[in-house]
């Protein structure tokens, strides 16, 4: 990877929120820090998430980990270090944070990129998921959300005062986001949800592990938070409807785990559904490699859906609901898109893969090639060019 000349010696501050998926989220931020370090920049990371720099990082990475900084001394410590970092850096990248006033002011005297990896700030409930109808909400945040809540219960047990407060906070977030000069997201769908233009950086995934092989089994897998919005019950429904799938592996944990177990029992498939809980990335990849297909049944606005390209890197095809940014990587023949909630269509897609060896092999080979679009090299090169472009303005 060619490092940009203007980046060498640059002091870059990375602000990273505590938000991040079990296998995604801040993982891409850690990769970005390593890329900038290898390009010769001096990187300082201010984070409430666990982050350990790579051993081969060249420019040096300083990590300032903060704990429990939402109130009291932790809050004071966060702001003190934030102001200190703002004053000492040449370039700032803010990932996953709310659009705080301090960041808006900072861009007046320092180049700053504000990055969102999800659509949480576009919805007062944070999920864009309508519990009662089990569908995605496409409404823009506003007072009409209160009427939707009365029918759907998406704001749960919040008092009317807190419901209004949540809506107004999200309206403020959206207004402030439009004030950033440089905005980036992990998909075009994420940009669209935030109602503005910007740069797209698809999250980097592991290098393809080329193993052109026959279908390893008739097992299928679901990876993610075990919740209604992630569609875990739909994964069980698809598995039951499938004529070919033998075992469903569910990797993850969450508030609906007990419900999912009871539902599997009620459907008569509990003996063929394996609940693994959260496991290491290495063990997860072994399961992905073993399974013939990955199910993505999200019923909320997935900004990207990182597990899809990670499955592709192992040669495992994906059957997914067409939500959020999933369509930006899930394309035939590597992936099959079906409408959100289309149980029958998803089950038929699984059966086509499992019952047709030639079709599965073509999908697996295409999966490897598709995953190359999301390499660390491409991710790094695009970031370096983007930073240099901003510096040249």
Q: What is the pLDDT along the chain (393 residues), one digit of tens a residue?
A: 444 578 888 999 988 875 444 444 567 888 898 899 999 999 988 876 665 555 555 557 887 776 544 555 555 666 777 777 778 899 999 998 889 888 898 899 899 999 998 888 899 988 888 888 888 888 889 889 999 998 998 887 778 889 999 999 999 999 999 999 999 999 999 999 998 999 999 998 876 665 555 667 899 999 999 998 899 999 999 999 999 999 999 999 999 999 999 999 999 999 999 999 999 888 999 899 899 999 999 998 899 999 999 999 999 999 999 999 999 999 999 999 999 999 999 999 999 999 999 999 999 999 999 999 999 999 999 999 999 999 998
Please give the Cα distance from 304 to 295 (Å, whole number): 15
DSSP letter, residue 270: G
Beta strand spans in 175-292 (E) = 182-185, 199-200, 219-223, 247-251, 273-277
Please give the Cα distance from 117 to 184 (Å, whole number): 9
Q: How many CB atoms lie within 10 A of CB 151?
A: 10
Domain 219-373 belongs to what topology?
Rossmann fold (3.40.50)
Which CATH number, 3.40.50.2000, 1.10.15.40, 3.40.50.720, 3.40.50.300, labels domain 11-204+375-391? 3.40.50.2000
Q: How many CB atoms lie within 10 A of CB 268?
A: 9
Our CA angle for 22, 158, 168, nearest 5°, is: 85
Please give the Cα distance from 287 to 271 (Å, whole number): 18
Task: Give span(s): CATH 3.40.50.2000, the chain.
Answer: 11-204+375-391, 219-373
**300 Cβ partners below 8 Å, 6+ apart?**
127, 128, 129, 136, 229, 230, 323, 324
Strands 42-47 and 61-65: parallel
Residue 183, token pair as written in the block: 């905005």
C-alpha closest to that of 202 among 330, 40, 335, 17: 330
């Amino acid at each position: 990877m060619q490092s940009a000349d203007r980046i060498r010696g640059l002091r870059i501050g990375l602000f990273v929120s505590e938000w991040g998926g079990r296998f995604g989220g801040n993982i891409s931020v850690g990769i970005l820090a390593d890329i900038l370090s290898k390009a010769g920049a001096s990187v300082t990371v201010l984070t409430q998430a666990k982050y350990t720099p790579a051993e081969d990082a060249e420019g040096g990475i300083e990590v300032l980990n903060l704990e429990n900084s939402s109130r009291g001394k932790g809050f004071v410590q966060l702001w003190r270090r934030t102001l200190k970092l703002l004053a000492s850096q040449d370039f700032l990248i803010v990932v996953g944070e709310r659009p705080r006033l301090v960041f808006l002011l900072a861009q007046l005297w320092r180049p700053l990129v504000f990055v969102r990896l999800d659509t949480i700030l576009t919805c007062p409930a944070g999920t864009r998921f309508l519990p009662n109808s089990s569908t995605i909400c496409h409404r823009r945040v506003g007072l009409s959300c209160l009427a939707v809540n009365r029918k759907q219960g998406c704001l749960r047990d919040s008092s009317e005062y807190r419901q209004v407060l949540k809506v107004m906070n999200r309206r403020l977030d959206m207004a402030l986001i439009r004030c950033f000069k440089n905005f980036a997201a992990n998909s075009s769908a994420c940009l669209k949800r935030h109602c503005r233009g910007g740069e797209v950086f698809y999250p980097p995934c592991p290098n393809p592990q080329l193993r052109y092989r026959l279908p390893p089994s008739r097992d299928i897998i679901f990876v993610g938070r075990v919740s209604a919005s992630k569609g875990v019950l739909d994964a069980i429904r698809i598995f039951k409807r499938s004529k070919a799938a033998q075992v469903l592996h569910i990797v993850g944990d969450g508030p609906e785990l007990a419900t999912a177990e009871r539902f599997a029992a009620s459907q008569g498939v509990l003996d063929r559904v394996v609940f693994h809980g959260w496991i290491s990335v290495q063990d997860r990849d072994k399961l992905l490699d073993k399974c013939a297909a990955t199910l993505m049944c999200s019923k909320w606005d997935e900004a990207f859906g990182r597990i899809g390209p990670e499955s592709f890197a192992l040669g495992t095809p994906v059957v997914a609901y067409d939500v959020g940014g999933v369509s930006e990587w899930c394309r035939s023949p590597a992936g099959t898109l079906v409408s959100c909630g289309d149980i029958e269509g998803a089950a038929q897609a699984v059966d086509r893969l499992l019952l047709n060896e030639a079709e599965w092999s073509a999908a697996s080979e295409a999966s490897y090639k598709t995953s190359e679009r999301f390499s660390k090299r491409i991710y790094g090169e695009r970031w370096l060019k983007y930073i240099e472009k901003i510096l040249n303005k």
